C-alpha cells in the first residue's frame, strides 16, 4: 500500500469478494463471507479476518475502500 499511496491513490476498489462458486463473484453464495479462494483457502473465518485486517490498514492510511456487490444476483445454491 505504500506504493499506492506514493502514486496518490486515495481509494481502492474491489470487484465482488464474497463467497461465490464463479470466478467473477457476481453471483454471491453468501454475502457475509469473503470467498476463501481470495484469501485463506478452505477457511472462510480466516478469510474474513484477513480482509478485516486489510480494511483496517487501508483506513489507518486515510484511504477509502469500495466493495462492489450486486445483492440481487445470487448463486443458485445461496441461502438468500
Does 79 fall in a domain?
no
Residue 64: which H helix or E strand, with range?
strand 64-67
The more confident residue out of 70 and 18 is: 18
**Domain, as residue range, for 37:** 2-67
Does 46 fall in a domain?
yes
pTM recorded for the entire structure: 0.77
Does 20 fall in a domain?
yes
The pLDDT confidence band at residue 66, using thresholds 50, 70 and 90, is very high
Query: 23-44: per-residue pLDDT in tens?
Result: 888 888 888 888 888 888 888 8
Least confident among 19-23, 50-54, 59-63: 19-23
Q: What is the pLDDT of residue 22?
A: 85
When divided into structural domains, the chain yields a total of 1
Does 74 fall in a domain?
no
Does 72 fall in a domain?
no
Does 76 fall in a domain?
no
Q: Which long-range contacts (CB under 8 A, 24 or more apart) does 2-10 make?
A: 4/63, 5/61, 5/63, 9/63, 10/62, 10/63, 10/64
Does 80 fall in a domain?
no
DSSP letters, 4-56, are HHHTT--EEEE---EE-SSSS--SBSEEEEE-GGGSSTT-HHHHHHHHHHHHH
Would you say residue 56 has pLDDT above 90?
Answer: yes
Amino acid at each position: 500500500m505504500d506504493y499506492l499511496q506514493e502514486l496518490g491513490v486515495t481509494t481502492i476498489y474491489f470487484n465482488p469478494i464474497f463467497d461465490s462458486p464463479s470466478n467473477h463473484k457476481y453471483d454471491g453464495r453468501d454475502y457475509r463471507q469473503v470467498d476463501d479462494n481470495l484469501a485463506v483457502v478452505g477457511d472462510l473465518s480466516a478469510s474474513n479476518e484477513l480482509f478485516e485486517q486489510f480494511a483496517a490498514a487501508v483506513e489507518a492510511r486515510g484511504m477509502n475502500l469500495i466493495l462492489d456487490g450486486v445483492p440481487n444476483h445470487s448463486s443458485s445454491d445461496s441461502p438468500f
